C-alpha cells in the first residue's frame, strides 16, 4: 500500500503501512509487530500486538459485563412480581410498566453511542457511565429501590384478605425515579462494551479476526452467567428474604463491574473518536440536496475521495463505491463552487457510503423489533403464566421468575456447542471463517422464536383445560400443572438468542462504518427497546379489543378466565411473518466493501 514517513527522536526511522500490521524497525535490528487497525494504548501510542488486547484484555471486559448484567437482571427479572404483589398493580399494568422501563433501558444507549463515537471514545464513555451507574444509579437508583422496598412508609400496606390498598402517588414517584435512573446509567455502557471488546482484536490479522467472531459468543455467554445468578439466587432472595436485600445485592455487583473494568486499562487497545456520526450523515444529506440538479457521472472514479492512506495511522478505512442509492452520490460530485474544506458542500465517497450502509442495514434492523417483543414475554407474560401454575417441589416453592434460568441455561449450553462444534463443521462445508454468515445465523434464531411462542401457546391451552376440568375458572388460583411445563419455551428461546442476538452483535459491528460502530451497536440495542414498546402496544390493543362488552378479555387479572394462549399464538404469527420478511431482506442485502 505504501509507506509514511514519521519523525521520531528515537532510533525508529520508518513505519511501513502493510496489509496486516505496522512493523517498527528500531536501530538495533529487532522487530516488533504493531496492530494494523490504528489502535493505540492508554497514552495514545501505537500498541504492540503481543502485549495488548486479545483474550487477556477481554477477560476484564467480560467480567465487567457479567457483573453489570447481574445487577441489571437482579432488578429486571422479578420486577413484574414486585409490581403485582407489593405495589398491587394489575397484570396488564405491571407487564406494561416492565416492558416500558426495559424499552427505555435500550433506548438510552443512543446517548452513550453518540458520546463514544464523537467525543470520548468507548473506554472513557464506559468509565464515565459505569461511575454514574454506581454512584448515581446504583447508590441513588438501586438503593432507592432498596429503600422503597424496605421502609414501610414508602411501600403499600400488605393485603388484608382480598383487599389490597393501591400505592400512593409518592410511593410510585420514589420507586419509578430509582428505576429510571438505572435506565439512564446503563445507556452509556450498553452500546460500547461489546464494540470495545471487539476492538481488542485486530481486523487486519486473520487469526485475531477469527477470535473476534468467538468473542461475541463468549460476550453473550458472560451476560447470561450474570442473568443465571439473578434469575435463581437473587430472585429467590427477593421472594423469601425480602426486597430490600434483593435489590441491594445488585448494587454491590455494579461496584465490582466498575472495578473490573478499570483493572484492565493497561492491556486495552483504544480506537480514537472520529467525530459525530450524526453530523457526518447530515453532511451527506445536505451536500446531496444542494446538488440535486447535477448529473451523476457513470464513472464512479470521478467522485471525490481523499487520496491519503489513513487506515494504519488512525484506524480509518475507505469504503468502496456501490451502485445502490445513487442519488446520494451527488454529495461527492466535484463542482466549480465547491470548497474542499467544507464537508457540508462536498463529501468523500467513503462518507457517502457510510450513510448508504446504514440505509441498507435498516430493513434487517427492523426485523429485530418483533423478535425483541417476543423476548419481552420472558420477564412479563411467561412469569404471570407461571404464577398460575404449581410452583411447589415438596416443601420448596419455586419463584415463577426463576424459570427464566432455563433460558439462561440454554444460552450457556448452546454458546460453546455453537462455537466449538457447529462453527468448525459449518466452516468445512461453507469455507467461511465463521461457518455461517451473520444473516444466516439470525434467520435460524427467528425460526426458533416462532417455535417458542407456539410452545407457550400449547402449554397455556393445557393449563386452561385443567382450570376448566377442576372448576377453577372463576377462582384466581394456580392450577395443579407443574411450572416445569414452561421449560421447553424458555429453552427454545435461549437457543434463539444464541443465533439471533449474537448474530445481531456480529452483523452490526462488522457491517457498520468504522466511525459509527458504537452508534450501530446502539441501533442494535434499540430493537430491544422498540420490541418492548411494541409488546406494550400489543398488550394494550389486545386488552382494548378483547375486553369490550363486559368480557374479561384475553389477559384479565384472573388468567383462568382469560385466553393467554391466543395472545401467544398471535405473537407466533407475527414472528412467522417477521421471519419471512427477514428472508426477503437478507437475500437483497449487499455487504459493505472496504479498501
- The reply to whether 47 falls in a domain is no
> Rounded to whole angstroms, how far apart are CA atoms 129 and 132?
5
- Report the CATH number that the domain containing residue 423 is assigned in CATH: 1.20.1250.20
Can you give the pLDDT at residue 155? Answer: 62
Burial of 1 from C-beta contacts in 10 A (0-12 / 13-18 / 19+): exposed
Can you give the pLDDT at residue 7? Answer: 40
Whether residues 154 and 268 share a domain: the answer is yes
Nearest Cα neighbor of 36 from 26, 27, 24 is: 24
Can you give the pLDDT at residue 11? Answer: 36
Q: Which domain holds residue 524?
A: 54-273+353-588
Give pairs for 578-585: CB < 8 Å, separation 24+.
578/367, 578/370, 578/371, 578/446, 579/367, 579/443, 579/446, 579/447, 579/449, 579/450, 581/363, 581/367, 582/364, 582/367, 582/442, 582/443, 582/446, 583/443, 585/363, 585/364, 585/367
pLDDT, one tens digit for every residue, the chain (595 residues): 333 333 433 333 333 333 334 344 344 434 457 777 677 878 778 877 788 888 888 899 999 989 888 888 888 878 888 888 777 777 778 878 887 887 788 788 888 888 888 888 889 888 888 887 776 545 544 555 666 666 666 666 666 666 677 777 777 777 787 788 778 888 888 888 888 888 888 877 778 888 887 888 888 888 888 888 887 888 888 888 877 778 788 888 888 888 889 999 999 988 887 777 888 889 999 999 988 888 888 888 888 887 554 443 344 577 888 888 888 988 888 887 767 778 888 888 888 988 998 899 999 999 999 999 998 898 888 988 998 899 888 778 888 877 888 888 898 899 899 888 888 888 888 777 777 888 999 999 999 999 999 999 999 999 999 988 888 888 878 898 999 999 999 999 999 999 998 888 888 888 888 778 788 888 888 888 888 889 889 988 998 898 887 788 898 888 888 899 999 999 999 999 999 999 999 999 887 777 6
Neighbours of 471 (CB within 10 A): 8
- The reply to whether 185 falls in a domain is yes
Whether residues 285 and 405 share a domain: the answer is no
Nearest Cα neighbor of 562 from 386, 389, 400, 385 is: 385
Per-residue three-class SS string for 119-140: HHHHHHHHHHHHHHHHHHHHHH
Burial of 237 from C-beta contacts in 10 A (0-12 / 13-18 / 19+): buried
Can you give the pLDDT at residue 464? Answer: 93
Terminal Cα-to-Cα distance of the chain (whole angstroms): 10
Rounded to two decimals, the pTM is 0.74
Rg (CA), the chain: 26
Burial of 132 from C-beta contacts in 10 A (0-12 / 13-18 / 19+): buried
- The reply to whether 43 falls in a domain is no
Question: In this structure, what C-alpha cell is assigned to residue 443?
Answer: 434467520
- The reply to whether 38 falls in a domain is no
Neighbours of 244 (CB within 10 A): 18
> Rounded to whole angstroms, how far apart are CA atoms 411 and 454?
20
- The reply to whether 46 falls in a domain is no
> Rounded to whole angstroms, how far apart are CA atoms 181 and 108?
11
Whether residues 160 and 287 share a domain: the answer is no
Whether residues 401 and 528 share a domain: the answer is yes
Whether residues 338 and 368 share a domain: the answer is no
- The reply to whether 37 falls in a domain is no
Supply the DSSP symbol for 398.
P
Handedness of CA 159, 165, 170, 173 (dihedral sign): positive
Whether residues 337 and 408 share a domain: the answer is no
Whether residues 369 and 516 share a domain: the answer is yes
Whether residues 344 and 364 share a domain: the answer is no
Whether residues 129 and 262 share a domain: the answer is yes
Can you give the pLDDT at residue 138? Answer: 52
Whether residues 548 and 466 share a domain: the answer is yes
Whether residues 114 and 216 share a domain: the answer is yes
Q: How many domains does the chain have?
A: 3
Can you give the pLDDT at residue 451? Answer: 96
- The reply to whether 342 falls in a domain is yes
Whether residues 197 and 335 share a domain: the answer is no
- The reply to whether 327 falls in a domain is yes
Nearest Cα neighbor of 220 from 497, 2, 571, 564 is: 497
Handedness of CA 143, 144, 146, 147 (dihedral sign): positive
3-state SS assignment for residue 396: strand
Amino acid at each position: 500500500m505504501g509507506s509514511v514517513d514519521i519523525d521520531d527522536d528515537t532510533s525508529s526511522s520508518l513505519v511501513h503501512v502493510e496489509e496486516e500490521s505496522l512493523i517498527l524497525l528500531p536501530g538495533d535490528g529487532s522487530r516488533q509487530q504493531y496492530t494494523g487497525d490504528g489502535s493505540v494504548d492508554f497514552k495514545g501510542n501505537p500498541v504492540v500486538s503481543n502485549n495488548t488486547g486479545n483474550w487477556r484484555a477481554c477477560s476484564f471486559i467480560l467480567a465487567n459485563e457479567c457483573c453489570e448484567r447481574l445487577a441489571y437482571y437482579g432488578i429486571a427479572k422479578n420486577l413484574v412480581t414486585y409490581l403485582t404483589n407489593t405495589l398491587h398493580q394489575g397484570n396488564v399494568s405491571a407487564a406494561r410498566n416492565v416492558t416500558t422501563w426495559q424499552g427505555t433501558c435500550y433506548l438510552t444507549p443512543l446517548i452513550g453511542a453518540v458520546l463514544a463515537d464523537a467525543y470520548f471514545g468507548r473506554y472513557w464513555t464506559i468509565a464515565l457511565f459505569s461511575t454514574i451507574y454506581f454512584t448515581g444509579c446504583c447508590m441513588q437508583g438501586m438503593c432507592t429501590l432498596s429503600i422503597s422496598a424496605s421502609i414501610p412508609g414508602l411501600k403499600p400496606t400488605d393485603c388484608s384478605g382480598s383487599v389490597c390498598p393501591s400505592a400512593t402517588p409518592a410511593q410510585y414517584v420514589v420507586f419509578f425515579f430509582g428505576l429510571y435512573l438505572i435506565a439512564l446509567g446503563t445507556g452509556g455502557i450498553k452500546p460500547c462494551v461489546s464494540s470495545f471488546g471487539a476492538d481488542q482484536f485486530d481486523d487486519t490479522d486473520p487469526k485475531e479476526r477469527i477470535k473476534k467472531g468467538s468473542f461475541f459468543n463468549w460476550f453473550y455467554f458472560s451476560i447470561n452467567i450474570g442473568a443465571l445468578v439473578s434469575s435463581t439466587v437473587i430472585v429467590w432472595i427477593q421472594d423469601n428474604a425480602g426486597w430490600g436485600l434483593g435489590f441491594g445485592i445488585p448494587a454491590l455487583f455494579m461496584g465490582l463491574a466498575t472495578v473490573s473494568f478499570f483493572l484492565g486499562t493497561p492491556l486495552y487497545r483504544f480506537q480514537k473518536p472520529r467525530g459525530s456520526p450524526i453530523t457526518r450523515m447530515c453532511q451527506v444529506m445536505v451536500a446531496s440536496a444542494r446538488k440535486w440538479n447535477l448529473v451523476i457521472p457513470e464513472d464512479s472514479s470521478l467522485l471525490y475521495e481523499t487520496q491519503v492512506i489513513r487506515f494504519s495511522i488512525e484506524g480509518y478505512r475507505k469504503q468502496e463505491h456501490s451502485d445502490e442509492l445513487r442519488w446520494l452520490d451527488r454529495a461527492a460530485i466535484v463542482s466549480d463552487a465547491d470548497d474542499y474544506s467544507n464537508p457540508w458542500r462536498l463529501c468523500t465517497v467513503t462518507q457517502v457510503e457510510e450513510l448508504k450502509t446504514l440505509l441498507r442495514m435498516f430493513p434487517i434492523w427492523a426485523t429485530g423489533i418483533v423478535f425483541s417483543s417476543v423476548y419481552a414475554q420472558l420477564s412479563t407474560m411467561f412469569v404471570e403464566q407461571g404464577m398460575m401454575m404449581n410452583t411447589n417441589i415438596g416443601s420448596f416453592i419455586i419463584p415463577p421468575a426463576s424459570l427464566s434460568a432455563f433460558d439462561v441455561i440454554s444460552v450457556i449450553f448452546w454458546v460453546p456447542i455453537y462455537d466449538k462444534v457447529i462453527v468448525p463443521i459449518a466452516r468445512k462445508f461453507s469455507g467461511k471463517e465463521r461457518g455461517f454468515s451473520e444473516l444466516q445465523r439470525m434467520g435460524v434464531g427467528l425460526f426458533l422464536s416462532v417455535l417458542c411462542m407456539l410452545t407457550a401457546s400449547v402449554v397455556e391451552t393445557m393449563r386452561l383445560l385443567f382450570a376448566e376440568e377442576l372448576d377453577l375458572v372463576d377462582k384466581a388460583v394456580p392450577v395443579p400443572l407443574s411450572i416445569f411445563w414452561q421449560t421447553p419455551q424458555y429453552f427454545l428461546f435461549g437457543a434463539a438468542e444464541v443465533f439471533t442476538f449474537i448474530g445481531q452483535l456480529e452483523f452490526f459491528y462488522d457491517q457498520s462504518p468504522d466511525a459509527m460502530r458504537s452508534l450501530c451497536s446502539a441501533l442494535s440495542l434499540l430493537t430491544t427497546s422498540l420490541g418492548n414498546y411494541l409488546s406494550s402496544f400489543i398488550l394494550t390493543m389486545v386488552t382494548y379489543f378483547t375486553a369490550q362488552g363486559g368480557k374479561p378479555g384475553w389477559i384479565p387479572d384472573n388468567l383462568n378466565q382469560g385466553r393467554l394462549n391466543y395472545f401467544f399464538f398471535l405473537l407466533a404469527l407475527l414472528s412467522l411473518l417477521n421471519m419471512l420478511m427477514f428472508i426477503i431482506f437478507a437475500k437483497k442485502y449487499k455487504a459493505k466493501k472496504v479498501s
